[in-house]
Each structure stands twice: as structure tokens, then as C-alpha cells.
């Protein structure tokens, strides 16, 4: 397994703890394969203006309905006008790990709007837990801030 240094690892991280819509900056990304089917994904660490963070995931495989809605939302929310023109000129194209990695890398530092939702789950000890996650991506009115 490879190592990627995170200079903020020693800092205390605060998390978004209520559902809502937030303007966030893509601070960093993590890539990996989700068991049991080894689906490639990217986890984005998103931080709001108050320094609170939330994660959001996108996958290189289509959703259950056969579409790439979340990936499409993320691309549309973080792409510059020139990048949008480039994607539109390609027409339909296949999605692979390299494309998803490229989208993730170019998004670091860009600002977008994210809808944070609450998810309830059962912890290993049998108690109920609550997690907050970035679920829907929205483009800022004037496009992504800090596109480069």
C-alpha cells in the first residue's frame, strides 16, 4: 500500500454535524477499492468556511439505475466553463478509474455547494449511530471558486 502525506493529520478536525446546504472547498481526496466487489471510489474531504468538514464519495461504476448522477453532479459543480465545453464536445464516453482520478485531482482547492444528509446506522456494539455525508453536489452561481 502506498503512503500519501497529509500535513493536517495532526490537527484536530471538526465535522459538520447537521443536515443542510454548505459552501465547501475540496481539501483533499482519498482513493481506494470498496469491498466486496472492489469498486473503485474517491472520497472527498470537503471543508466549510468555519473549518468543519464532511466527506463525500463518488464511484467509477454506475449507480443502480445505470446512470452516473453523483459523478455528473460533481463534475458539473467543479468544472470551469472551458472544461464543460470539453466534456460536451466528447459526447458520450466511457468512465474508468483514470477519468475519476483526474476529476478528483483537478477538484482540489475548488469551491462548490454540497447538500449534507444524515444517515443512521447500527454500530458494532448494537447501538445506533448517526453519520453526516455529502450527498448532492451543486454548482455555485458563478461556477467553481479557485478553479486553479
Delimit the domains of the chain by residue range.
17-138
Q: What is the DSSP string of the chain?
A: ------TTTTSPPEE--S-EEEEEEEEEEEEEEETTTTEEEEEEEEEETTSEEEEEEEESS--TTS--HHHHHHHHHH--HHHHHHHHHH-S----HHHHHHHHHHHTT-EEEEEEEEEEEE-TTS-EEEEEEEEEEE--TT--BS--
- Using one digit for the tens of pLDDT, what is the confidence trace for 13-35? 789 999 999 999 999 999 999 88
Q: Would the pLDDT of 148 be above 50?
A: no
Stretch among 7-16, 67-76, 98-107 having the lowest mean pLDDT = 7-16
Q: What is the mean pLDDT of residues 68-81?
A: 94
pTM, entire model: 0.84
The arrangement of secondary structure in 17-138, i.e. its CATH architecture, is Beta Barrel (2.40)
Stretch among 19-23, 32-36, 106-110, 136-140 having the lowest mean pLDDT = 32-36
- pLDDT band of residue 12 (cuts 50, 70, 90) is confident
Q: Would the pLDDT of 79 be above 80?
A: yes
Q: Would the pLDDT of 4 be above 90?
A: no
Amino acid at each position: 500500500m502506498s503512503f500519501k502525506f497529509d500535513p493536517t493529520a495532526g490537527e484536530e478536525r471538526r465535522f459538520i454535524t447537521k443536515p443542510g446546504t454548505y459552501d465547501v472547498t475540496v481539501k483533499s481526496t482519498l482513493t481506494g477499492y470498496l469491498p466486496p466487489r472492489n469498486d473503485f471510489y474517491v472520497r472527498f474531504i470537503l471543508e466549510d468556511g468555519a473549518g468543519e468538514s464532511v466527506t463525500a464519495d463518488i464511484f467509477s461504476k454506475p449507480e443502480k439505475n445505470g446512470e452516473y448522477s453523483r459523478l455528473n453532479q460533481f463534475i458539473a459543480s467543479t468544472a470551469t466553463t472551458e472544461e464543460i465545453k470539453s466534456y460536451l464536445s466528447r459526447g458520450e464516453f466511457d468512465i474508468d478509474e483514470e477519468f475519476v482520478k483526474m476529476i478528483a485531482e483537478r477538484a482540489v482547492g475548488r469551491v462548490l455547494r454540497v447538500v449534507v444528509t444524515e444517515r443512521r446506522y447500527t454500530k458494532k456494539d448494537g447501538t445506533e449511530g448517526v453519520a453526516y455525508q455529502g450527498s448532492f453536489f451543486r454548482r455555485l452561481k458563478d461556477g467553481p471558486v479557485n478553479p486553479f
